[in-house]
Amino acid sequence: MYDRLKGFRDFYPEEMAPRREVIDTLESTAARYGFREISTPALERTEMYVDKSGEEIVEELYAFEDKGGREVSLTPELTPTVARMVVAKQQELSKPIKWVSTRPFWRFEQVQQGRFREFYQTNVDIFGSSEPTADAEILAFAADALTDLGLTGDDFEFRVSHRDILSGLLDAFDADVDAAAAIRAVDKRAKVEETEYLGLLSDAGLAYDQADQFDDLVARGDLDEIAEFGGADVADAVENLRNVLAAAEDFGAREYCDVSLTTARGLDYYTGVVFECFDSTGEVSRSVFGGGRYDDLIESFGGQPTPAVGVAPGLAPLSLLCQRAGVWPEEALTTDYYVLTVGETREVASRIARDLRASGNVVEVDVSDRSFGAQMGYADSVNAETVVIVGEQDLANDEVTVKDMASGDQTTVPVETFPGDRDAPTYDDVA
């Protein structure tokens, strides 16, 4: 016996069915907004991540030398990959570029609730628009996807912030501040003790009293006060945040948005509005997913300046929210028909199965030469709603038997008229 690797998961059919339903919902919601599906490789050059995040990132990667002597890594996220793709065909692509994909990613990190070493995300991105409406459309997509899954405004909230407000406030202090380090500290604010958090701000360059004042401004979140304190650049960022929220109001997503300047998103490439989705009840203690604007990334990959904004719902934390709210799809197999054979009836049974499948039904037939009882037991195990019994005795009378599995009721019908012109005939239709 071989044990499964820690942080990697198997999904049996009963578990995979609800995951597929959730993925389909996310992708169909994105499609309604005009996002087009892309597919991306599992491997990228390690230097792509090192150049953006430093050598220390390698400790979090599944990085190795391939047989061609190249240093490569299993992709830990999609944003650098799609940035590379945009740069490769930037002149050919119509703007705005709107892409969606669902695929696995890999990070070597501590396994915990809702976080694994192999994880699945649906990434939704817009390239080529700096307008607040692009940010708002990402928020609206995310809200619609969650409500399409059956969640309501009582179940989740988007905590919306702006990276330029945070960096502008830091610049307003008379101190030599490492803004990126300070913003990473803000991102950890809810996860560490106050003294440790203020210490991180101090390590980033703020004096202790400045760190306390900065945190007080951010925690209160009074946008007018912040704009006055921070000066022109912060006032511009505040206006941009308000414009995004106004557009989100028009798009029907404002009710899910709370201004929360302590929401920072830890990745350094974010440049403008950022947000995270949380369980409103707090039972799911971690962020469900997040997103934001990253206007400088395409240029840093060698492309033309191209604004960008996106979001990436992860399947694992999203499942925690849906399960807590009671809207995670049922983990059960579903089968519309089981066509049961008795004796030498395969030809007729196969014709019936083909006709039913042609109408879009899920249909199984016996492929193991089992007894009547074993076939009925299997039909029950796959939750077949209707069993069509094709037996030699019935066929001698030009009939087949249609059995409703829930009630146990059954009746015979002419074989030539089943299923006939009906897409999904049940016992009630033919009794």
Q: Using one digit for the tens of pLDDT, what is the confidence trace for 375-426?
A: 999 999 999 999 999 999 999 999 999 999 999 999 999 999 999 999 999 9
Residue 280's pLDDT is 96
Residue 327's pLDDT is 97
- From residue 427, how far is each of 66, 97, 337, 378 by CA, in Å? 59, 50, 11, 19
Residue 302's pLDDT is 92
Element (H, E) at 406: none
Where does 163-288 show beta strands of DSSP type E? 257-259, 273-279
- Please give the CATH number for the structural domain made up of 13-40+75-325: 3.30.930.10
Please identify every stretch of the chain with a pLDDT value under 50, giving residue numbers as ranges. none
Residue 418's pLDDT is 95
Where does 163-244 show beta strands of DSSP type E? none
Residue 114's pLDDT is 86
**Distance separating alpha carbons of residues 121 and 376, to the nearest angstrom:** 39
SS3 30: helix
> Around Cβ 166, how many Cβ atoms within 10 Å?
27
> Residues comprising the binding site for L-histidine?
77-79, 107, 121, 125, 265, 269-270
Where does 132-240 show beta strands of DSSP type E? 156-162
Residue 265's pLDDT is 83
- The pTM score is 0.91
Residues 103-144 have pLDDT tens digits of 999 999 999 888 999 999 999 999 999 999 999 999 999 999
Who contacts 226 (Cβ-Cβ below 8 Å, separation ≥6)? 165, 169, 217, 234, 238, 261
> Nearest Cα to 156, choosing from 168, 169, 147, 167?
147
SS3 221: coil
User: How many helices and strands (H and E) does the chain possess?
Assistant: 16, 16
Residue with tokens 């066509």: 339
Question: Do the domains 13-40+75-325 and 335-429 sit in the same CATH topology, yes or no?
Answer: no
Residue 53's pLDDT is 84
> Residues comprising the binding site?
77-79, 107, 121, 125, 265, 269-270
- Most distant CA pair in the chain, distance: 96
Q: Where are the domains of the chain?
A: 13-40+75-325, 335-429
- From residue 412, how far is each of 252, 370, 386 by CA, in Å? 53, 22, 13
> Nearest Cα to 363, choosing from 372, 377, 351?
351
Identify the CATH homologous superfamily for domain 335-429: Anticodon-binding domain (3.40.50.800)
> Nearest Cα to 301, choosing from 76, 56, 82, 9?
82
